[in-house]
Amino acid sequence: MKVFYHCYGSSHTSVVAAAIHVGGLAPDRLPRLGEIQDVPHFDRIRAVELGTVFVSGRGPDGEEVLVVGFGPGRKIVREAVLSLLELKDVSPNDYLLVDALDGANWVVRIGGMLSRRLGLVSIGRPLAALGIRLMFRRLVRLVEKTQAEVRRRQEIP
């Protein structure tokens, strides 16, 4: 099974959710800002890389965990991907698309815009990390729900 965490630019919420999923960030404690900024790909994906899938590792049940940014049309892109997978007869039990952007706070969004769009990395990156820290428990719940769904789908014959 493959789990795809997606958000706008695959730079903030999706990479942190993936890091929690694969054990790179402990779900039982609030990470320091530096730990968030050290997550692979955190606030480092360029606009030209939107749509590129990045591997984060393996989850606790052997599932491959990946991240991808769908850009401004994330809902349309998600539907296109789902339609393509269905046309190719890929079983829904072989993949899971998880929207990590829903519920992202304004601090993450402003930090991401300052850093990625305006190039003000020294201001935007720490601000985005602070926003992630403020919403960390929500991301942990999202990952826990995702891991439960992975287990449920893997039990289906």
Tokens 């695959």 belong to residue = 10
* Predicted confidence (pLDDT) per residue in 10-58, tens digit: 899 999 999 999 999 999 999 999 999 999 999 999 888 988 999 999 9
Tokens for 57, please give them: 């590792």
What b/e readout covers 108-136, taking b as 16+ CB neighbours within 10 angstroms? bbebbbbbbeeeeeeebbbbbbbbbbebb
Q: Where are the domains of the chain?
A: 2-102+137-155
Residue type, 54: F
Residue 157 is predicted with a pLDDT of 61
Whether the predicted model's global pTM rises above the 0.75 cut: yes
Residue 146: C-alpha distances to residues 30, 102, 124, 127 (Å): 20, 14, 29, 27
Spatial contact of 3 and 123, defined as CB atoms under 8 Å apart: no
Residue 71 is predicted with a pLDDT of 87
* Predicted confidence (pLDDT) per residue in 121-154, tens digit: 999 999 999 999 999 999 999 999 999 999 999 8
* Predicted confidence (pLDDT) per residue in 116-128, tens digit: 989 999 999 999 9
* Predicted confidence (pLDDT) per residue in 51-78, tens digit: 899 999 999 999 999 999 998 888 899 8
Tokens for 140, please give them: 């942990």
